[in-house]
Amino acid sequence: MKLEKSKLKENTTIQISGSKSISNRLLILESLFANIKIGNLSNSQDTQLLKKALSENTEIVDIHHAGTAMRFLTSYYSIQDGKTTILTGSKRMKERPIKNLVTALQNLGVEIEYLENEGFPPLKIIGRKITETKVDVPANISSQFITSLLLIAGKLENGLEINLVGEVTSRSYIEMTLDILTKFGIKNSFIGNIIKVESTINHQLSTINYEVESDWSSASYFYSFVALGRKTIHLKSFYKESTQGDSAIAKIYEEFFGIKTTFKEEEHQLKLEPIEGFEFPEKIVLDMNNCPDIAQTLCVTASALKIPFEISGLGTLRVKETDRLLALHNELKKLGTETEFTDLTIKSINFNEPEENISIKTYQDHRMAMSFAPFCLIKELNIEDENVVEKSYPMFWEDLKIILVK
């Protein structure tokens, strides 16, 4: 897709669909407990794939690129007593590690077999009733592994106690899950590194209506547009007291890029507004351990403004849809930004002029496509394989037509 050099319109309004993270959690809980009515469900491909898998009674379940679905369904099928499920996905999915989650479930007594490579999908899962009550899990793994266990915990006969061993990564996503469980009426606690979830077997949960907040990860791209275009954008269906870790984007972009976020609570709307006369920092130094999914957006914004950056806390990015740190390193070079990276960090080391004909590879990663799109306010560029946005934000390119003018 060719993105011509554009300008940002003033005072446009965008409606973003429900958070993928929240929607996927709710779909698992809805299937397990049947006491929920969901509004503003995400229209992302990941969510639709998970919804389809939960509605079908087949032995082989193929979730393609949907990493969240792979992780959540691994635990979900583990407690379907007597049911055998083969859980598989795309070539990239078969390269994404799942051993820590499988080991935890095996330690709880579930029979799970790797069908190809040790530690990776596809999996053969034989469901059973779990009566064990405690399990140790490394704390520095993907929070989705931990959430996967938490979502089934209330359905276990004796509940579940998870001991997180080490320093916790992406704590905000774990707290989001626990907040949702609380709203469901599932009692839980998170003290120190110990998470406890009580069983619901002996009490009836009341039915609730859950309106899904819009996705803060998707909102991040519009923060980038406002930071570069210095015009106001309004985003609908957001809440001031959000449990989404990526809501940190509001504070980050105010501090480093001068974008003020105003909440209109009665309208559930955000106003993203550039601060007049804002002076950009000499350097951005930031630990994004609790919000790694918005790191790509920030790096592109900083590159476009030629602000040196040093971002840490990015250990999970190397095992996402692609190796995101390597992908960033490669593609930022086309914008004129030279970087160096480790397993946990990425930092700029020099700024040059952008290439003449910029063509951004997306590496089958939705966030690569969307995080680089705001650079069209600086220079024309091409986004390869633009359809990857369907994974999380199918309407992204249509929404850009609302905010941009050539």
Q: Please identify every residue annotated as catalytic.
A: 293
- Name which of 225, 216, 274, 226 is nearest 248 in CA terms: 216
Phi-psi region of 82 (alpha: psi -120 to 50; beta: other; left: phi over 0): left
Sheet with 194-197, side-by-side order of all strands: 134-138, 160-165, 194-197, 188-191
CA 79 from centre of chain: 25
Distance from first CA to last CA of the chain, Å, rounded? 15
Give the Cα separation of 106 and 102 in Å (integer): 6
Give the Cα separation of 374 and 229 in Å (integer): 9
Measuring CA to CA, how many Å separate 86 from each of 55, 76, 114? Answer: 16, 12, 10
- Name which of 315, 346, 345, 342 is nearest 139 in CA terms: 315
The single-letter DSSP state of residue 347 is E
CA 291 from centre of chain: 9
**Do residues 93 and 65 lie in contact, with contact meaning Cβ atoms separated by under 8 Å?**
yes
Compute the half-sphere exposure of residue 283: CA atoms within 13 Å on the CB side of its CA: 9
* Backbone angles phi and psi of 127, in degrees to 5: -70, 150
Q: What amino acid is encoded at 19 in this protein?
A: S
Q: What amino acid is encoded at 191 in this protein?
A: I
Sheet with 358-360, side-by-side order of all strands: 2-3, 381-383, 358-360
Per-residue tokens: 216: 């803060």
**DSSP-H helix ranges across 305-365:** 324-332
β-sheet bridge partners, residue 209: 37
Q: Which residues contact 132 (CB under 8 A, 6 or more apart)?
A: 107, 108, 109, 158
- Name which of 309, 364, 304 is nearest 334 in CA terms: 304
The single-letter DSSP state of residue 321 is S
Give the Cα separation of 275 and 287 in Å (integer): 24
